[in-house]
């Protein structure tokens, strides 16, 4: 295992930053071939200044930095200082860097289609330029980072619009009732239990999602268990086979569903198995639940407003087994 001193790490970061600036410049040069000739000796300063401004806006991925510079090519350097809508997008802490870069270019495309100014490219040419940048830099990773390169998708809108959690088929649950001095087990009333989230497209904030959902179930191996129906609505998707992503992380492993299959799925949620099957029940002693994590994810890109991106909640399943201690 290699251990770097602070000085060595700083030198490597500086070297990576220099390489990323070169890669960024090469991508822009091939996408906007006339730009370098127009800027001449100011070319390197333009790339350097754009990278610094992108970092200040929270744009870390090389593709997001490139998209900001592409916006400058069309609208002028630092145009966001003159356009309130652009500043609002870039400085919004609720938007991810991908959402910022995506929405910035969406708005510019709209302006090119309706009110293009002299010297600006056509909307079709700018769309082509964005596709070229996406193809070349989507896997470039974070700017000036020594961490493994990560991919980002900025091609089309892809976000979650609504999610519903609903307990189904709970007829197996029973409870004790007294009848003339005798205790009997009877089915529990099937009260509907559900949680629904709908995202307002013009909302200025992302919707709130419960941190934890508590439910009753039975241990693995039992004939019945709690069944949680999860429905996900996503009007815009990057890939019908990729998003939305429905993922359940539990002690037994991971279950993941994507695309159309994730739009409407029913998951069995189990309580923890008995640690000592022969132990006698204790009155007034609280059981420990079995925890699992339910995730719903997308690219988190929408043309307007704050995207949802991803949601996560903790499922806490308690054992529903009842014991008649005395009659």
pLDDT digits (tens, 9 = 90+) for 170-214: 777 777 777 777 777 777 665 568 899 999 887 778 888 999 999
Specify whether 47 is located in the same domain as 126: yes
Asked if 301 contacts 156 with a C-beta cutoff of 8 angstroms, the reply is: yes
Helix 62-75, helix 6-31: angle, nearest 10:
40
Tell me whether residue 109 is in a domain. yes
Domain count, the chain: 2
Tell me whether residue 310 is in a domain. yes
Q: pLDDT at position 320, please?
A: 81
What is the extent of the structural domain holding 105? 8-137
Specify whether 218 is located in the same domain as 114: no
- 102: which residues sit within 8 A by CB, 6+ positions away? 67, 154, 157, 301
Residues of the chain predicted below pLDDT 70: 1, 188-192, 275-285, 323-327
Specify whether 205 is located in the same domain as 261: yes
Tell me whether residue 289 is in a domain. yes
Specify whether 305 is located in the same domain as 172: yes
Specify whether 58 is located in the same domain as 207: no
Specify whether 108 is located in the same domain as 199: no
Q: pLDDT at position 50, please?
A: 97
Specify whether 235 is located in the same domain as 86: no
Asked if 162 contacts 209 with a C-beta cutoff of 8 angstroms, the reply is: no
Q: pLDDT at position 295, please?
A: 97
Does the global pTM surpass 0.75? yes
Q: pLDDT at position 279, please?
A: 66
Q: How many whole angstroms separate alpha carbon 192 and alpha carbon 210?
A: 18
Specify whether 238 is located in the same domain as 307: yes
Specify whether 38 is located in the same domain as 77: yes
Specify whether 314 is located in the same domain as 211: yes
Q: C-alpha 114: how far from its chain's center?
A: 32
Specify whether 307 is located in the same domain as 180: yes
């Amino acid at each position: 295992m290699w251990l770097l001193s602070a000085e060595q790490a700083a030198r490597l970061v500086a070297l990576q930053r220099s390489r990323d600036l070169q890669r960024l410049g090469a991508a822009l040069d091939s996408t906007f071939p006339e730009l370098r000739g127009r800027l001449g000796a100011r070319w390197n300063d333009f790339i350097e200044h754009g990278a610094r401004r992108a970092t200040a806006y929270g744009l870390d991925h090389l593709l997001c930095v490139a998209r900001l510079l592409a916006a400058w090519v069309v609208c002028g350097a630092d145009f966001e200082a003159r356009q309130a809508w652009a500043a609002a997008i870039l400085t919004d802490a609720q938007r991810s860097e991908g959402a910022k870069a995506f929405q910035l270019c969406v708005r510019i495309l709209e302006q090119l289609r309706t009110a293009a100014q002299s010297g600006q490219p056509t909307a079709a040419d700018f769309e082509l330029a964005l596709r070229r940048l996406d193809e070349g830099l989507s896997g470039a990773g974070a700017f000036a980072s020594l961490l493994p390169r990560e991919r980002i998708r900025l091609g089309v809108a892809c976000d979650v619009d609504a999610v519903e959690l609903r307990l189904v088929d709970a007829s197996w649950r029973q409870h004790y009732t007294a009848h003339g001095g005798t205790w009997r087990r009877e089915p529990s009333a099937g009260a509907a239990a559900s949680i629904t989230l709908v995202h307002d497209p013009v909302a200025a904030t992302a919707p709130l999602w419960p941190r934890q959902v508590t439910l009753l179930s039975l241990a693995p191996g039992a004939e019945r268990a709690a069944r949680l129906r999860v429905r996900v609505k996503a009007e815009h998707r990057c890939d019908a086979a990729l998003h939305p992503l429905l993922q359940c992380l539990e002690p037994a492993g991971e279950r993941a569903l994507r695309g159309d299959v994730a739009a409407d799925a029913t998951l069995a949620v189990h309580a923890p198995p008995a640690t000592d099957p022969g132990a006698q029940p204790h009155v007034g002693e609280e059981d420990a639940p079995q925890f699992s994590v339910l995730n719903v994810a997308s690219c988190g890109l929408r043309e307007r407003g704050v995207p949802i991106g991803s949601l996560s909640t903790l499922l806490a399943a308690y054992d529903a087994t009842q014991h008649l201690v005395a009659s």
